[in-house]
Amino acid sequence: MARKKSKEKKIYVLDTNILLHEPFAFLNFEEHDVVIPMTVLEELDHIKDRNKDVSRDARVAIRALEDVLRDASPEQMLQGVALPRQNEHLGGGHLFIINDHHIKDEIPGLPGGENDHLIINTALYLQREKGPVKVILVTKDINMRLKAKGAGLKQVEDYRTDQLIDDVRFLYKGYFKFSSEFWSQVGECRSENEGRDTVHYVSRKILPNAYINEYLIDEAETFAGRVLAITEQEIKILDFGYERLMHRHAWGIHPKNIYQAMAMQALLDPQMDLVILTGPAGCGKTLIALAAALELVIERGQYDKVIVTRNTPEIAESIGFLPGTEEEKMAPWLAAITDSLEVLHKTDEHPHASVNYIMEKANIQFKSVNFMRGRSIQNAIVILDECQNLSAAQLKTIITRCGEGTKLICSGNLSQIDSNYLTAVTSGLTYIVERFKNFEGSTTINLNGVVRSRLASFAEANL
């Protein structure tokens, strides 16, 4: 469902997963009417008491509905309760709660006991009773959309109000690569020295869609820089020097190519409060992030500790109850971090002892996302791994926990989403990449260009 201004009033029937995805979604349909079947309320009721993060969204949705319906009588609820207006120039829509258990089966072939079928049946009933008004079922369940169309529902949509892009292929990469040589395309250029740095001022016409902190490279491998400022006439570029950028290193790790070099520069830059690393499995996101964190905490002493956290979706059967402290419980989920630590110290005489020593020296703490709410993290590096499985709201919770002097590193692979409620375009990772691309304290690097192992590359292309 994309919000579009329309003179034609419509009726939107919401599935439960819409309110779990965005608890206030029923307020985003402008002048149109919104119907919530009783089955949806029952599903929210069953979910709200579970020990899951989604239970919080269910409770928020129930409270939001109660705020709108608090003073409504049963008769008013059947006739529709006015929703808060989002636009003064448009007539407000109404919210309806329908007891779908008393609606006769519109399609006898649909088993009446399944909740999805009860919701589809409600939409079919409204389509017949309210015609010619368009009735639209909104659900994030692809299979439910297929079943609804097969049952005869004319309008079925996904909820896309919170989507910033329609295709993940167009997601901001964090860098722009010029064809051939950079300087051959620049023309007039004004250069200045600022301390040890060299900056160039070039015409805005060269890169009309530039963003703050966007990296600039060329195919000839002669130039590497970053956009520092943008005006209507020109772009200010910090010149790193291609070879100098490639010779950066952190905790003994050297970049294999320019993409990892850009990521390492951003990670080591104290001005970057947020660094977002995207790319496929095996491209070095976690390894580079951890190496930079150890460099900044132990060698440079710029931060006091490293906090590592991630969401914990189960991609297979549960491994059961895990005794121990929070960090001991999180250890299986954060094996990628311990694997990376072992790689960083594999040449030591006693690698296992070195890993334990470094974890204590850098004050590396494993924390659960579930316990991040309400904290205020000061002067630390926070590594949020596998954040493609987090929603925008969950990521906002973590970002707002970062206090003075804290650097947040978000990494994720949009092709490996395990959440039942997210896709690549609705993932919180996609959301923050697009939202923060013009923030002067953040940068994004896509590591798709990194050469991975032969096994990983073959599997990605052929499996």
CATH of the domain at 320: 3.40.50.300
Per the domain annotation, does 163 fall within a domain?
A: no
What's the rounded Cα separation, in Å, for the pair 217 and 183? 11
Looking at the fold, whether 277 and 150 belong to one and the same domain comes out as: no
Q: Give the per-residue pLDDT at 15.
A: 94
Confidence of residue 361 (pLDDT cuts 50, 70, 90): confident
Please check whether residue 251 is in contact with residue 294, taking contact to mean a CB–CB distance below 8 angstroms. Answer: yes
- Domain boundary, last residue among 136, 158, 180: 158
Beta-strand pair 380-385/364-368: unpaired
Which residue range is the domain that position 350 belongs to? 168-461
Q: Computed from CA positions of residues 210, 215, 220, 223, in that sequence, does the dihedral angle turn out positive or negative?
A: positive
Residue 2 has pLDDT above 50, yes or no: no
Q: Check residue 297 and give its pLDDT.
A: 92
CA 436 to chain centre: 11
Residue 3 lies in a domain: no
Which of 132, 158, 184 lies at the terminal end of a domain, its last residue? 158
Q: Classify residue 236: in a domain, yes or no.
A: yes
**131-145, 320-334, 404-418 — which is least confidently predicted?**
320-334
In whole angstroms, what separates CA 301 from the centre of its chain?
30
Residue 228 and residue 113 share a domain: no
The answer to whether residues 174 and 130 belong to one domain is no
For 276, residues 6+ apart whose C-beta sits below 8 A from its C-beta are 174, 410, 411, 429, 432, 433, 436, 442, 443, 444, 445
Are both 146 and 203 inside the same structural domain? no
Q: How many CA atoms lie within 13 A of 458 on its CB side?
A: 3
Instruction: Check: CB of residue 173 under 8 Å from CB of residue 447.
Output: no
Angstrom distance (rounded) from CA 178 to CA 454: 28
Amino acid 318: pLDDT:
44
Residues 153 and 172 in one domain: no
Q: For 153-197, what is each residue's pLDDT tens digit?
A: 999 998 877 666 767 788 899 999 998 889 888 878 899 998 888
- Residue-wise pLDDT for 51-78, tens only, equals 666 788 899 999 999 999 988 888 888 8
Is residue 5 situated within a structural domain?
no
Average pLDDT over residues 39-50: 90
293 and 366 inside one domain: yes
Which pLDDT does position 310 carry in this prediction?
78
Is residue 4 predicted with pLDDT exceeding 60?
Answer: no
392 with 410, same domain: the answer is: yes
- What is the DSSP track for 364-415? EEEEEGGG-TT--B-SEEEEEESGGGS-HHHHHHHHTTB-TT-EEEEEE-TT
The mean of the pLDDT values for the chain is 84
Burial status of residue 217 (CB atoms within 10 A of its CB: 0-12, 13-18, 19 or more): buried
Phi-psi category of residue 176: left, alpha or beta, with phi > 0 → left and psi -120 to 50 → alpha: beta
Q: Same structural domain for residues 136 and 198?
A: no
In a domain, 4, yes or no: no
Give the span between the Cα atoms of 31 and 94, in whole angstroms.
8
150 and 186 co-located in one domain: no
Helices marked H in 295-349: 326-330, 335-344
Overall residue count recorded for the chain in this entry:
463
What is the per-residue pLDDT for 164?
Answer: 64
Beta bridge partners of 385: 310
| Model confidence pLDDT, tens digit, residues 83-109 | 887 655 556 789 999 988 888 877 766
**Are 388 and 452 contained in the same domain?**
yes
Least confident span in 151-155, 295-299, 326-330, 427-431:
326-330
Residue 263 DSSP SS3: helix
CATH code assigned at 149: 3.40.50.1010
Q: Report the pLDDT averaged over residues 100-120.
A: 79
Q: Provide the whole-model pTM.
A: 0.74
Domain count, the chain: 2
Mean pLDDT within 223-243: 93
**Is 68 part of a structural domain of the chain?**
yes
DSSP-assigned letter for residue 154:
S
Q: Is the domain of 146 the same as that of 184?
A: no
Does residue 1 lie within any of the structural domains? no
Regarding whether 382 and 304 lie in a shared domain, the answer is: yes
Q: Choose the final residue of a domain: 158, 180, 201.
A: 158
pLDDT at 16 over 70: yes
